[in-house]
Structure 1
C-alpha cells in the first residue's frame, strides 16, 4: 500500500513510527540535545524521538521551533521525519536551514487526516522524495 504526502522539507527517509497522542512543541517541550520529550504533561514524556518518524496531527507552535529543530538535526538527535495533518512552516524552515548549513535533513510532510489515521498504526514507514509513503 502506498499513500501520498506533500513534502514540505527534506526528502526520502525511513524509520520506526512514533505516533504522538497530542501535539508537541519543539521549543521547550523537546530537548534538542537528547531528542527526548520533556513536557511532563505530554503523554509521551520521556520518549526519545531521534531517528523516528513522528506522526501527529499538528505541532504546538512557536516562532523558536525552527531553531530547536535545526539544532536537533545538527546534533543528529532529530526525528528522521515528522508527518502532520496540519502543515507547520516553522518546522519546514528549520529543516531547510539545517540542510543548508549542516548538510543534514529531517523530512517534514503533510497528509490528510485519513492518511494520518492509517500511519498512526504503522510500525515503520518509508518516505520517497516524491512524497509516496509506504508502511514497511
Structure 2
C-alpha cells in the first residue's frame, strides 16, 4: 500500500513498524540512553524505538522531549523515521534537529498496522509505503 502524507522533517528511511495508539511524551517515556519505552503505563512499555518506523498519533508533554529525540539520535537508538496522525511542535523540532524523517497527515487507519510491518517513509516525496512482512 502506498499513501500520501505531509512532510515535517526531510529524509527517507525504512524499517519495521512500531505502532502506538497512544501519544508519546518522549521525556519520561523513552530512555534516551537505550531507546526503550520505560513508562509502565504506556502501550509500548518494554519495547525499543531504535531503528523502527515509529507510528503514533502525536506527541505530548514537555518541550524537553525534543532534546530526548536528539539524544536518541546521537546515541544511535533513535527511530529510523516517525509517522504521526497530527504532529505537534515537540516531535517536529526533535525530528528536524535530529534529521529523522517525520510525516503526518495520514489516516488513523495506520494505527491498526501490525508491529513489524515493513514501512518506507519518503518525506521529500510525501509518500509512505507499507509491505506486509
Gaps spanning 5+ residues in structure 2: where? none
1:73 aligns with 2:73: yes
- 8 A Cα contact 2:57 2:87, kept in partner: no
- 8 A Cα contact 1:55 1:116, kept in partner: no
Structure 1 runs (4+) deviating above 4 angstroms are: none
Q: CA RMSD in A?
A: 1.5
How far apart, in 2, do the equivalents of 1:80 and 1:63 lie? 21
Cα distance per residue 1:16-75 (max 9 Å; x no partner): 001113111101111111000011101220100101011111222321111100111111
Equivalence for 1:116: 108
Cα distance per residue 1:63-90 (max 9 Å; x no partner): 1111100111111111011111111222
How far apart, in 1, do the equivalents of 2:61 and 2:102 lie? 14
- Report the TM-score, using the length of structure 1 for normalisation: 0.85
Gaps spanning 5+ residues in structure 1: where? 99-104
- Report the TM-score, using the length of structure 2 for normalisation: 0.87
How far apart, in 2, do the equivalents of 1:118 and 1:92 lie? 19
Deviation at 1:118, TM superposition (A): 3.6
1:133 aligns with 2:125: no
- Aligned partner of residue 93 in structure 1, secondary structure: helix
